[in-house]
Structure formats: structure tokens, C-alpha cells
Structure 1
Amino acid sequence: MTHASPVSEARKLLVQVFRTGLQLIGLSSLLLAVQTQAFGFTIEAEKRFGLASAPNEIRIVSSTDIDVFQPVIEGYIQEHPSIAIHYIVSPSQGLYDAVAKDGEVFDLVISSAMDLQMKLANDGLTQPLRQEIIAARPSWARWRDRLVGVAQEPAVVLLADEALAGGLQVPRTRRDLINLMRDNPERFRGRIGTYDPAVAGAGYLFAAQDARMSDTFWRLAEVMGRLDARLYCCSGEMIADIQTKKLLIAYNVLGSYMPRDKVAREGFEVIELEDFTITLLRTALVPSNAPYPGLAQDFLAFLVSPSGQKLLTERAGLPPIDPGVYTERPHLRPIRLDPGLLAQLDKLTRARFLEEWHAAMEQP
């Protein structure tokens, strides 16, 4: 298992400081900088959309990359030129901490970590949404009047063409995937990627749901651990490493991050496992301290409207909320917005799960 810890990097840096004999005041400043980098709110990317002269601006924080949401934002601004949008990308766990613990100010929060979003809503850190927004969602895609799903996405497996060299068969279930990796250890050692549930909110959600649906997940984790799986914060990085052949297998990748250009998608296959494929809801809420909640709800109403959902599908590549897809593809298993998501966030429950996960992954 390969994983770079911010804390370990900080320790290395401090050792270098002592060796160079920096003065105490310099050491204190450096330590503060290291702590801020390791534990502070992380902005991965940000962009302002709209006219420079727009009299109103809302601040959206999201775990979704800019290029995915850009067509929707531009479509909204085209209809509302008096609005500008400052769009900020942050990892789902850091996004939650920024709202729940740090008091960061945003008008709208969009995240793939459904459980963390539900906790924000359940802890009284959100504002009620307008009835038109709630009514636009089926019952399983909303939580009271505080949280709604804006897209539904499967967590898929990416398999590089090289992984099947020599006539190996495409895995269709987790059992197949286990057998493929176990029977070809030298091919896959160090070239398997998956989320790190200890640091990625969506990663913990996926792992907990996997384990809830089948004990096969733990056997899969043990095999990946023995083969030195690489751990990631986000789907985009796994996709990039599949494209460069650094990885041959990426497990539980969000399908919405797939490149929409056909050439960029060459060289690997996208697989929805037939035993079950977890499907999450990308959800949105308005924080209780939002400076412009009315404008945020206007944007959210557009997002869940037929025109907004069409933009999400055709331009952004995000599947819309569609109950019919589960009948057409019965292997898809939706993660529903229900109290079970809150139970898995209990501190003791989470700690026990991560302890078991680390034990499975850290195989000799």
C-alpha cells in the first residue's frame, strides 16, 4: 500500500530544519506553515464566471472539477447576466471540515460525499430549501427540506488494455477481479489504485457501502493490499494514472470524471461490475451562514430543473436523477439519503471500520 502522509512529510522537513541550525523563531514560523498546509482548508482550483461588472456574486464550493460543472454555470449565467459565480474545488472531506469546523462562508455546497452532506444538514448547519427545489426530486434523492441530489453516478472499475494482455478475460464481478489480480501478482503489483477512505470523504462512503453490500469487499481489499495498491484522494488522479499506464486497475472511480473526448478514452475500459455497482448522489445544500441564500437557491432551482438537468447530462456528462435507470440496469445499487448514512459516521463506527480496512490492506 503506497500512501504519502502530510504529517510524515512535515517531520522530514523539521529534521532538515534542525540540521541546518535555524533559529527558534524561524522554526516556529516553518512549523506553522507546515501545519497550515497539512490541516487547513484545501483549494484545489477556483474560477470566477460572469461579467466583471456583475452586481451580484455567489460563492460555490464543490468536490466536482471545474470543467465538469462549467457548462452548467455558463448556461445559468447566460440567462442571468447580473450574477457572477466564484466556483471553488475542494476535496469532499476538507469541504465538510471547512463548513462544519472552520466556519468558512459559502452560498452553496455541492459534494459527492452524501454522508457528510447529510451530517451538515442533520447538525443544523443548513437552511431550508424552497418547495420547488424539493418537489423536483424523488423521495430517495432528498433529505427533509435541507439536501437534494443533483446527479446520480456509478462508481466504476477502470481497466487498462495492458491488464488483459495474453488473453485474460474482462472481470465482470468482484470475484472475477480478485481472481485476475491474485493469479497475476507480478503484472499488477504497485499498479492498482483506489480511494483512501481515511482521507477522502467519497472514498469512505464507497468502502462502507461496499462492505455493507458484500463480504467480498474485504477479500478484495486484502488482495489489493498484498499487491501494494496505491491510495488516492480523488477520481481525477486515478484516471490520469490509468491514461499514463502508471495504473492498470482503478477501483471505485466516479464515471463522471471520464474524459468525454474519444481519443482520451482510448487504452482502457470502463466496467460496471455485475454483482453490484454502487451509485451515489451528488448532493447540494445551502449553509446556514450563506451570505446570499436566495441567489444560491435560484441557481440550485436551475440545476434541478429540466433545462439544468439536460445541461448536466449533455454538456457536463453527469447522469441526471432518473429512477428508471435502476430498472434498466438492475446491477446499479443506489445509495439513498437515509439515516443509515449518519450511522456510519459515528466516531467509533468509523474508527473500527478504518482499523479493519488498514488491517486488510497492510498484508505482508
Structure 2
Amino acid sequence: MRNRLPTYLLLWLLPALAIAQARTPLEVEAALDRQVVAPLLEAFERAHPEIDLRYNDRSTLDVDEKARHARPAPDVVISSAMPWQMARVNEGLAQPVDSDAARNWPEWAKWRNEVFGFTFEPIVTVYRLDLARHMMPPTTHADLHTLLESHQDLLKGRVTTYSPSGSGIGYTLFQQDARYSPRFWDLVAAMGAAGVILENNTRDMLEGLTDGTYWVGYNLLGSYAMHWARSHPDLIVQIPQDYALVMMRMAFVHRDAPHPVAARIFVDFLLSVEGQKTLAGSTPLFSVLPDVIGPYTAQRLRDQVGERLYPIPIDASLLAFVDPMRRKAFMDRWNREIKILTP
């Protein structure tokens, strides 16, 4: 005879089973390390138990591929590759979010209520304490250039940065550097002369810095670096003092989202006071909202760096970075200056 649940236990379980079956799935494709953003995801799941969040952490190039070609489409797309996000929205792949949070979101951090920058992450230099035993660590871009030229032999093969051909965010950051620094190409040439190793993501750079392969890393995502440094005290995170780039993770609801209501609820949460407080208090992703208080806020970053903080703007100027002719011209110059084989 088969075992059967007691009637009282079955009656107790039925409501829970009904709730589980009624949960709405939500597919999020994101270029954002789950370990770093975990507090925000957990806060969303507590606030919305009726939604079954499925969060996929991928590279910027993979996320862009999913946004363009995945069938069914993802519900929400998040990426640090800001020009690619803007290009997809410009192509009509996003739908607007009509909510108080979206309407009141700072104008400089959104475009047409369709795509929103919800983090405020500084771009940093990271070095090992080993470096400080041999030379004065760099606090500015000019310091790094001088260090590379004066200690070229000692730093040979011990410097790392993004590959602009293998990383969407890496390419974007170098384009911004070229905009703000008249000595950018001199720095690229100095990195090439020091045998710089190009990586496709910040995690690989941090792992190399941790195991001693690298002594200094340039243009790392500050959120990942700060999170990593908490458990690796031999690494020092430096926000450049001459100027500091800031990138924002951009999120949009896909035009063909299978679950658009849940998708809009998720994006709205990213923009909410609760979501931004979680970013400011529990993650190094930095909140955007000016009134939010915590160790990681845009205002606190401005207090540290002052007027030399340069956020990458969310506007139509981003579209120039995905222009094929501009990209080719930039990469031709990059390869000419750096004089190494790029991946």
C-alpha cells in the first residue's frame, strides 16, 4: 500500500504549492558579477517572493549577443558596455518603464525612460604591496606613465589592463581616456614597452594580481576591485587623483520580454530608494540617488575626487563608440602604439 500524506499536512502544504506554481519567472541577462550584486538580488527576492528571479552572469559581449539574438528574448538586459546598451535601445530593443521612480530618475543617468544607469562605479588602478617595496605607487595617470618608463625592466610582464578588442567595457574606457587625457597614447606606448598583458575581464586581472603574476593593473572596475580587496589585503585600490572615470551599469526591459510586468518591477526596484540603499550600504557598486546615505554613494565619491570625477554620460554620444569606422581607426592606433599582439 502506498504511503499517503495525512490530510492535515496536505491541507497545510496546498497553499504553499499554489504560490510556488504561481510564481512568475524573470530572466535577467547581466554583465555584473553575481557575488558583488548578491545583496541587491536578495533584497529584490525578499520584496517580491511572487517572482522567480533567474539571473545569468555573463561577459559584456555574451550579454549583447543575447539581447540581439536570443529567442525567447531575456526580460531584462544589464551591462557595463554602455555604448552597446545605448545602441540596442536606439535600435528599438527596449520598452519604456513608466513609474514614479523612472520618471524621477536623474536625467543624466537615463535615456527616454528606456535605459537607466543604476550604479556609479569608479575606474581604478590596483597594485600589489610588492610594488610599493620597489617604487612609489601611482596616484595619477601621469604617475603611472612615469613609473612605466623609469622601471620598465622591473615591470616587464607585470602590468595588466583590458583588451579593447576582447572587452566592450575595456574599449569604452580607453575611448574615454583618449578624450580626457592628452597623454593617453603615450601611456599606451609605455604599457606596450613594459610588455603589458591584456585581459578580457577584471576578475582575471585581479587573480593575476593576487598570485603575483601582475604588480599593477590599470582601468579595473572599482566595484569588483573593492569587493576583491576586502579578502586580499595585499592589494591596494587607488582611485586616480588627476581624473577618475565613472561607468554605470545600464539596464533596460527588452522589447520582446516574455514577462514584461515582472521585468518592469525588477528595473523599478533597481531605481527605488530601497534598491539604492542596498547598493550604498552592502555593495561597492555605488548608488546614484543623491539622498541615499551609505559608504558607497555617488556623493561620497564626489567628495573624495571632487570636480575631476568624469561619469560616462548616458546620451546619444555613446553611439559614436559603436561606429565601425571609428572603432577601426581607434584599434589601428592602439595596435600601432602598443606594439604587441592583441587577443
TM bracket, shorter-chain basis:
0.7 to 0.9
Q: Shift in Å at residue 332 of structure 1?
A: 1.4
Question: What is the distance in 1 between the residues matched to 2:220 and 2:20?
Answer: 36
Cα distance per residue 1:8-42 (max 9 Å; x no partner): xxxxxxxxxxxxxxxxxxxxxxxxxxxxxxxxxxx
Note if contact 1:190-1:228 (Cα within 8 Å) is conserved in structure 2: yes
Sort the Cα spacing of 1:260 and 1:350 in 2 relative to 1 into closer, same or farther, 3 A. Answer: closer
Aligned match of 2:334: 357
SS in 2 for 1:157: strand
Q: Which one of 126, 142, 151 corresponds to residue 110 of structure 2?
A: 142
Aligned match of 2:318: 341
Cα distance per residue 1:72-93 (max 9 Å; x no partner): 1111111221211111111112
SS in 1 for 2:336: helix
Aligned match of 1:118: 86
Sort the Cα spacing of 1:76 and 1:355 in 2 relative to 1 into closer, same or farther, 3 A. Answer: same
Note if contact 2:229-2:237 (Cα within 8 Å) is conserved in structure 1: no
Sort the Cα spacing of 1:325 and 1:339 in 2 relative to 1 into closer, same or farther, 3 A. Answer: farther
Question: What is the distance in 2 between the residues matched to 1:145 and 1:73?
Answer: 22
Question: What is the distance in 2 between the residues matched to 1:200 and 1:191?
Answer: 20
Aligned match of 1:38: none
Q: Which of 106-115 and 235-244 deviates more?
A: 235-244
1:216-295 matched pairs, under 5 angstroms: 216-258=183-225, 260=227, 264-295=231-262
Question: What is the distance in 2 between the residues matched to 1:92 and 1:163?
Answer: 31
SS in 1 for 2:125: strand
Q: Shift in Å at residue 186 of structure 1?
A: 2.1
Sort the Cα spacing of 1:95 and 1:78 in 2 relative to 1 into closer, same or farther, 3 A. Answer: same
Letter aligned with residue 97 of structure 2: L
Q: Shift in Å at residue 103 of structure 1?
A: 5.0
Note if contact 1:278-1:335 (Cα within 8 Å) is conserved in structure 2: yes
Q: Which one of 258, 264, 268 corresponds to residue 297 of structure 1?
A: 264
- Whether 2:178 is the aligned partner of 1:211: answer yes
Q: TM-score, normalised by structure 2?
A: 0.86
Q: Shift in Å at residue 351 of structure 1?
A: 0.9
Sort the Cα spacing of 1:250 and 1:131 in 2 relative to 1 into closer, same or farther, 3 A. Answer: same
Q: Shift in Å at residue 96 of structure 1?
A: 1.1
Aligned match of 1:163: 131
Q: Shift in Å at residue 59 of structure 1?
A: 0.3
Q: Shift in Å at residue 125 of structure 1?
A: 0.9
Q: Shift in Å at residue 97 of structure 1?
A: 2.4
**Structure 1 segments (4+ residues) deviating >6 Å:** none
- Whether 2:52 is the aligned partner of 1:75: answer no
Question: What is the distance in 2 between the residues matched to 1:113 and 1:338?
Answer: 14
Question: What is the distance in 2 between the residues matched to 1:182 and 1:311?
Answer: 42
Q: Which of 318-327 and 216-225 deviates more?
A: 318-327
Cα distance per residue 1:313-337 (max 9 Å; x no partner): 2222210014645652222111111
Letter aligned with residue 354 of structure 1: M
Question: What is the distance in 2 between the residues matched to 1:217 and 1:264?
Answer: 32
Q: Shift in Å at residue 52 of structure 1?
A: 6.3
Unmatched tracts of structure 1, length 5 or more? 1-50
Unmatched tracts of structure 2, length 5 or more? 1-18, 291-297
Q: TM-score, normalised by structure 1?
A: 0.81
Question: What is the distance in 1 between the residues matched to 2:66 and 2:230?
Answer: 37
Aligned match of 2:58: 90
